[in-house]
């Protein structure tokens, strides 16, 4: 990076920028003018062009999770933009390069989880939009080592929601261990995660049963689901799915944020099948019968986001056109409206804040 480029970007920026901030759980979401942060020696400053709105952002605003959340807080953790400034010790990022800001802002790199590619499980992680200000702002600093490289031929708006939603769906499907040609069932299939899940599953060679409300049927089938099951109005849902699949799907990925689909999954999973739990119901305790779990050799897993490698792989699927990201573009001021639609289950796409609006 030349000194000339560094100066040009610094001079062209104002001293303040817009940020969406709230002072306490469920408090008003207000757009405020704040000072543009300065990158530390090992950080880069990214001008955020787009930031995906994730269901976890709603959870952070509601205070649904036990782990640390600071206040006041700028939410968001699916940011895509361009590097505009680098710290003095940063050697591998240049001004003008596309860069992504994901949920995990930092991890230790030294624990057993970090060393085995499971950095989301690191006990020392810091999370954007939770214990650190996130991407619902026009400029963000992040450690250079934590930023994600976005393929240069990939549209930044499409890249943003992959940084959490896309990689979460992709990682969960990998955890399901379903082989090409086999059937995977996806609950909550018509939502933001489910929409990704259907497409990643198809791109991985899997056959998909989409399970959701009847109003999501056309959407799910258009994304590549082979079958659709109405989760609310299908009589004998368990028998129906077992009949379709000749004994049950090989894997079930539960994106639905509700208890009932979680509990039902144990009823129709195939022998030796795998259930992957992703969605967060408000009451996360479920009742299951362990006898068939044991006798049918069922595997149950939890899955949350993905590693750096998972993220890079998920972005590549989109970059080569194997996964399309259905987008709804909104203003920063519209985030509260989107939270309401999320709570009502009215989201069929990935919603992205466009900072040019």
238-255 pLDDT, tens digit per residue, is 999 999 999 999 999 999
User: Average pLDDT of 165-185?
Assistant: 98
User: Average pLDDT of 279-294?
Assistant: 87
Answering whether pTM is above 0.75, one says yes
Nearest-angstrom CA–CA distance, 236 and 241: 9
Interacting residues of 98 by C-beta distance below 8 A, sequence separation 6+: 80, 81, 82, 83, 149, 150, 151, 152, 154, 156, 159
User: Average pLDDT of 343-348?
Assistant: 81
Is the pLDDT reported for residue 317 higher than 60?
A: yes
Confidence tier at 280 by pLDDT (50, 70, 90): confident
Match 């799915």 to its residue by tokens. Answer: 241
Residue 78: burial class (beta carbons within 10 Å; 0-12, 13-18, 19+): buried
What tokens does 14 get? 């104002």
State phi, psi for 240 to the nearest 5 degrees: -60, -45
Confidence tier at 347 by pLDDT (50, 70, 90): confident
pLDDT value of position 4: 33
CA 124 and chain centroid, separation: 20
Q: What percent of the chain has pLDDT over 70?
A: 96
* Distance separating the N- and C-terminal Cα atoms of the chain: 30
- What digits encode the pLDDT tens for the residues 4-61? 333 334 445 689 999 999 999 999 999 999 999 999 999 999 999 999 999 899 989 9
Interacting residues of 123 by C-beta distance below 8 A, sequence separation 6+: 108, 111, 113
Q: Which domains does the chain have, with CATH numbers?
A: 3-164+306-354 (3.90.180.10), 166-302 (3.40.50.720)
Nearest-angstrom CA–CA distance, 41 and 212: 48
């Amino acid at each position: 990076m030349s000194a000339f480029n560094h100066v040009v970007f610094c001079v062209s920026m104002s001293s303040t920028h817009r940020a969406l901030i709230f002072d306490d759980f469920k408090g008003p979401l207000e757009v405020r003018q704040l000072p543009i942060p300065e990158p530390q020696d090992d950080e880069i400053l990214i001008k955020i062009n787009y930031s995906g709105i994730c269901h976890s952002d709603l959870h952070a605003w509601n205070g649904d999770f036990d782990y640390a959340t600071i206040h006041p807080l700028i939410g968001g953790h699916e940011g895509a933009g361009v590097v505009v400034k680098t710290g003095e010790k940063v050697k591998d990022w240049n001004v003008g390069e596309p860069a992504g800001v994901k949920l995990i802002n930092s991890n230790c790199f030294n624990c057993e989880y970090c060393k085995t590619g499971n950095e989301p499980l690191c006990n020392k992680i810091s999370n954007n939009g939770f214990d650190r200000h996130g991407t619902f702002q026009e400029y963000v600093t992040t450690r250079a080592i934590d930023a994600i490289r976005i393929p240069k031929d990939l549209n930044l708006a499409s890249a943003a929601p992959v940084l959490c939603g896309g990689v979460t769906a992709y990682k969960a499907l990998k955890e399901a261990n379903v082989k090409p040609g086999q059937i995977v069932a996806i609950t909550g299939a018509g939502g933001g995660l489910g929409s990704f899940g259907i497409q990643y599953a198809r791109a991985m060679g899997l056959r998909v049963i989409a399970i959701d409300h009847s109003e999501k049927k056309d959407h799910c089938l258009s994304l590549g689901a082979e079958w659709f099951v109405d989760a609310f109005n299908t009589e004998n849902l368990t028998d129906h799915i077992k009949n379709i699949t000749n004994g049950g799907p090989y894997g079930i990925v539960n994106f639905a944020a509700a208890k009932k689909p979680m509990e039902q999954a144990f009823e129709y999973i195939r022998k030796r099948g795998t259930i992957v739990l992703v969605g967060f119901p408000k009451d996360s305790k479920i009742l299951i019968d362990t006898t068939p779990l044991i006798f049918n050799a069922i595997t149950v897993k939890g899955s949350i986001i993905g590693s750096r490698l998972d993220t890079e792989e998920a972005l590549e699927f989109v970059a080569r056109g194997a996964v399309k990201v259905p987008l709804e573009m909104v203003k920063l001021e519209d985030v509260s409206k989107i939270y309401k639609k999320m709570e009502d289950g009215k989201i069929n796409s990935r919603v992205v804040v466009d900072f040019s609006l």
